[in-house]
Amino acid sequence: MKKLLAVLLAALSFGAWAQRNFDATVIKTTKLTDSLYMLEGEGGNIGVSVGEDGIMVIDDQFAPLTPKILTAIRAISDKPLKFLLNTHVHGDHIGGNENMAKEGVVIIAHNNVRKRMSALQFNEYIKRNVAPYPKSSLPVITFADTVTFHFNGDDVTVFHTPPSHTDGDSMVHFAKGNVLHMGDVYASTRYPNIDTESGGSLMGFAPAVDLALKRIDDATQVIAGHGPLSNKKELKEFRDVMDTIAKRADKLFKAGKSKQQMVEAKPTRDFDAKWNRNTPRTPDQYVESMYYDLARHQLK
């Protein structure tokens, strides 16, 4: 178990962020449309909308990266920074909030993002408490279900999804730009993390992705929380994989199988080659996390 945690710690890069060195990190900018961009650095993928109304940013990686991220944004536009959306509560997506607030952005997220940021959280990957965030980094406006921005000539819908990665996940859809930012409900090359401690749920991924699929078409550019730019076809495949492995694991769990028995049953076997890339986490470790999730939800 200790070894597992060490691996997970390294793999998920949770915790000890402050001490981490980001000197070597380079922010890569990808132009998606005339007004929409994706920034990659370290942590969750960032979405950027620029135009006559100003700049909207989706997620902000880690605090030490803010200057580099701002430099990348300024290379695109000199308009004022207006809005920052947080897709969920994790530090690799909201780490720069406090810095961005100083730039004058209004931070917006789902109710549960603020709720979790405001309280002491237990992080199950590192088995350690995470202190409440300072007030200046908290979302100022929170929503229960859906908000729509009428911004830079687009209708930008931010919608809450069923609990999956966490219980405060949102996706962001640019209707005219035909771009969707998925947050960490979707990692385009690997199984997504299930943060059960933050209210996530294995069974929620397929229903959450279904909400996204309803909105997009074959030409939609899909920004995953982690991993390369994706599309509807790949997302549909991801949805079916998550649906299949969740149902298999649920069936094993309901049949009374132990964690070890579930791992040995290899419910992810036919998907591992494709969907366990770019992570030191082994498929068996992922099945263990699925088991923990099911066990916790049974306790509730």
Partner 1 sequence: MKRLLVIVGVFISGYAAAQAPNFDAVQIKSIKVAQNIYVLEGQGGNIGVSVGEDGVLLIDDQFAPLTAKHQEAIKAITDKPVRFLINTHYHRDHVGGNENWGKAGVMIVAHDNVYKRMTTTQVVHLLNANIPPYPKAALPVMTYNDRVTYHINGDELTAYKVPRSHTDGDSMVRFRNANVVHTGDVFASGRYPVIDVENNNGSVMGVLKAIDELIPTLDDFTKVIPGHGPVSTKKDVIAYRKMIHTVATRVEKLAKQGKTLEQVVAAKPLREYDEEWGKFRKTDSFVEMVYYGFVPYKPK
Residues near partner 1 (CB under 8 A): 53, 106, 108, 111, 114, 138-151
Instruction: Indicate the residue among 85 and 287 with the shorter CB distance to partner 1.
Output: 85
Q: Give the whole-angstrom CA distance, residue 223 versus residue 231.
A: 8
Residue 144 beta carbon to partner 1: minimum distance, rounded to whole angstroms: 5
Helix (H) or strand (E) holding 215: helix 205-215
**11: Cβ contacts below 8 Å, ≥ 6 apart:** 279, 280, 281
* Partner residues linked to 121 by β-bridges: 130
Instruction: Indicate the residue among 145 and 264 with the shorter CB distance to partner 1.
Output: 145
Residue 127 beta carbon to partner 1: minimum distance, rounded to whole angstroms: 30
Residue 36 beta carbon to partner 1: minimum distance, rounded to whole angstroms: 18
Q: Give the whole-angstrom CA distance, residue 201 versus residue 146.
A: 20
Instruction: Indicate the residue among 117 and 252 with the shorter CB distance to partner 1.
Output: 117
- At residue 56, the 3 state secondary structure works out as strand
Instruction: Indicate the residue among 127 and 135 with the shorter CB distance to partner 1.
Output: 135
Residue 177 beta carbon to partner 1: minimum distance, rounded to whole angstroms: 17
Residue 212, amino acid: A
Residue 139 beta carbon to partner 1: minimum distance, rounded to whole angstroms: 7
Instruction: Indicate the residue among 149 and 191 with the shorter CB distance to partner 1.
Output: 149
9 closest CA partner among 127, 104, 110: 127
Q: Cβ distance 126 to 5 under 8 Å?
A: yes
